[in-house]
Structure 1
């Protein structure tokens, strides 16, 4: 249905774009889309009234959040939480898997959920709730979002889509930083994606149409057009030259978002990723309910995702 981008566009043009942005359109080693923006990534957001400097490591995050989790009225339940986010959502687990050195799919686009990295990521998020007690016991996306907006959560992990709403409520109290590094392992890698232009095979044999498509896509992905999107809509660019533009570096929110984006990793576009998501969700929920161990959950994730892929492929 569509053409690989390297069959349509010159290498010189593709080299102007962030390779990680292009990577999120890759299936079976082939890149299918040209991005005109880049983002959709998670990051650490914090309330500057409660957090003067964001934590650089997960150890710092945990200790800081413990000090910021407070029962101010003495009823036995915290009125202020140090940390909050949607713990049961697999998209929020992915950065931790990356931080421990794994990823939901391997290089062959097959599930890789039974790895030690997945076990460690599950253990880490479980401990936030049950060992360190720095996150609300039952809290979904809307709960965490509300707590942060009301100043009842000092830090939250959320995506770039939430920045406008938080800036409107918190103003210059809103801080943005990369999700803290895991000591001895590495930086968590939130999944990233963008908006992509794809070229239909139907224009391949029509030189005029193909030339028109190339001209249009190259224009939409140009530095000049992406600069307008950046200035008007705060959409981070896929164009590498713009990633150090003053419009980003002089804006603390955009600069923090870009710093996180550069530690991200393209969301797999392969259909096998749907099997991974479907296997991750119930088993992550079970870990957070303390009904199965991280080791059991990782093994079940791998088994269920592998079976799903086999069924999808007619096996």
Structure 2
């Protein structure tokens, strides 16, 4: 009797244990199934990506890899990035015929974010850590991340190896070389320093700045374009022109083509230009070398402007979560390296800086090194008020029509007026 009772009690206890376990296991199973079903239900059949003109070839492989992993087709279209992408998004986005993912130069981010054309991104700290701090800063506006970097570019020192055996380490050395080399139609070094994009390298390296950077937030009310450093930088620029080291023909809108023509004709030993010039110079038969810019007379590096291209999620996309996943996929280390190998645009992934694909390429190495000293062009809308006043001021300086301080003071006054008129809340 006792034995039978004992067996009965054990059976009851076993039923209790099974009852306790059963619902939990069912609940876990239901949760897993529900998550998978929800993910499948929210998964689009395709994502539409707008890539830059003549730059979509690399996406064939990457799109196929993403589709194989997630079952989502990637449809990519080419739209010219610098001028047409933003305008087309303004039209197609609200109409429901736009893309899920776009690519833009970072200095447009403030404007398109303010207009509500792109969505803030939510990604992990691990993802952010893949990229250089400066390139992530370039993709950030008003404290929010709006994209992930795909590549960067900045001006570097390009020289003709047949005319200059070794690149100078300092601008003082370059100045001395230019004084000796510049005769007739031959010039030692040329730069478009009446153009603020290039002149910022000198002005910034001497201590000037556009907008004060307060812990990652740019203050458009705090301009540093006529401070002591900015004046010193402008005076240094003026020195090259007043000494006759730059020809009068490289001022204004035609300056770039004039400088390129002289270099391609073998009449210039070195220029300050960007990676967009590498191939045209090679095609012209010039034996070019590329390095970071020589250091300034104050011992500081030339603080060039850096442009960062990125991928962004359209605010009109109905699949923003999956679009974000694809942006992360496109910009991971493996795919960023593959994109560089296909299109030669230097990625900002930290892990790739020392990769042989970069270090063994002279141009890519120069851009990567100079990028360490560069600053992202301000991406706030107020930057649009800076370019023309600064160009006007620099041109009056290099043509001897105004002293540096007076020109910079005038430019800052005009910029402040423009910001007040067009951006006051």
Higher relative contact order, chain-length normalized (CA < 8 Å, sep 6+)? 1
CA shift, 1:223, in A, is 1.2
Structure 1 residue 126 and structure 2 residue 238: aligned?
yes
- Give the equivalent residue in structure 1 for 2:77: none
- Give the equivalent residue in structure 2 for 1:88: 194
- Give the equivalent residue in structure 2 for 1:51: 164
CA shift, 1:102, in A, is 2.1
Kindly report which structure 2 residues correspond to 1:263-274, keeping only aligned pairs within 5 A, or say none.
263-274=373-384
- Give the equivalent residue in structure 2 for 1:136: 247
Asked whether the 8 Å contact 2:170–2:297 carries over to 1, the reply is yes
* Aligned residue-pair number: 299
- Give the equivalent residue in structure 2 for 1:167: 282
- Give the equivalent residue in structure 1 for 2:133: 19
CA shift, 1:228, in A, is 1.4
> 1:117/1:31 Cα in 2 relative to 1: closer, same or farther (>3 Å)?
farther
Helix, strand or coil at the partner of 1:237 = coil
Helix, strand or coil at the partner of 1:157 = strand
Structure 1 residue 262 and structure 2 residue 348: aligned?
no
Structure 1 residue 287 and structure 2 residue 397: aligned?
yes
Kindly report which structure 2 residues correspond to 1:60-75, keeping only aligned pairs within 5 A, or say none.
60-70=173-183
Distance 1:246 1:286 in 2: 45
- Give the equivalent residue in structure 1 for 2:120: 4
Distance 1:168 1:253 in 2: 15
| Worse-superposed segment, 247-256 or 61-70 | 247-256
Unaligned runs of 5+ in 2: 1-115
Structure 1 residue 216 and structure 2 residue 326: aligned?
yes
Kindly report which structure 2 residues correspond to 1:98-113, keeping only aligned pairs within 5 A, or say none.
98-107=204-213, 108-110=218-220, 111-113=223-225
Distance 2:345 2:393 in 1: 34
2:266 to 151, 156, 159: 151
Helix, strand or coil at the partner of 2:273 = strand
Distance 1:202 1:251 in 2: 40
Helix, strand or coil at the partner of 2:270 = strand
Distance 2:365 2:273 in 1: 16
If each structure's strand is expressed as a fraction of its own residues, which one has the higher value? Answer: 2
CA shift, 1:214, in A, is 2.3
CA shift, 1:181, in A, is 0.8
- Give the equivalent residue in structure 1 for 2:313: 199
Distance 2:123 2:363 in 1: 33
Distance 1:202 1:82 in 2: 52
Unaligned runs of 5+ in 1: 71-77
Asked whether the 8 Å contact 2:192–2:199 carries over to 1, the reply is no
Cα shift readout 1:12-36 (whole Å, capped 9, x = no counterpart) = 1011011211222333344322111
TM-score, scaled relative to structure 1: 0.90
Distance 1:26 1:120 in 2: 31
1:38 to 152, 157, 160: 152
Q: State which structure, 1 or 2, has the greater radius of gyration over its C-alpha atoms.
A: 2
1:235 to 341, 345, 360: 345
Distance 1:170 1:306 in 2: 46
TM-score, scaled relative to structure 2: 0.67
Distance 1:280 1:190 in 2: 16
Distance 1:186 1:254 in 2: 22
2:418 to 299, 304, 308: 308
Helix, strand or coil at the partner of 2:158 = strand
- Give the equivalent residue in structure 2 for 1:73: none
Distance 2:202 2:124 in 1: 36
Distance 2:128 2:395 in 1: 41
1:187 to 297, 301, 306: 301
CA shift, 1:85, in A, is 2.3
- RMSD (Å), alpha carbons: 1.7
Structure 1 residue 116 and structure 2 residue 228: aligned?
yes
Distance 1:263 1:185 in 2: 13
Cα shift readout 1:128-163 (whole Å, capped 9, x = no counterpart) = 0103x2221321111110111111011111111111
> 1:37/1:92 Cα in 2 relative to 1: closer, same or farther (>3 Å)?
same
Helix, strand or coil at the partner of 2:185 = coil
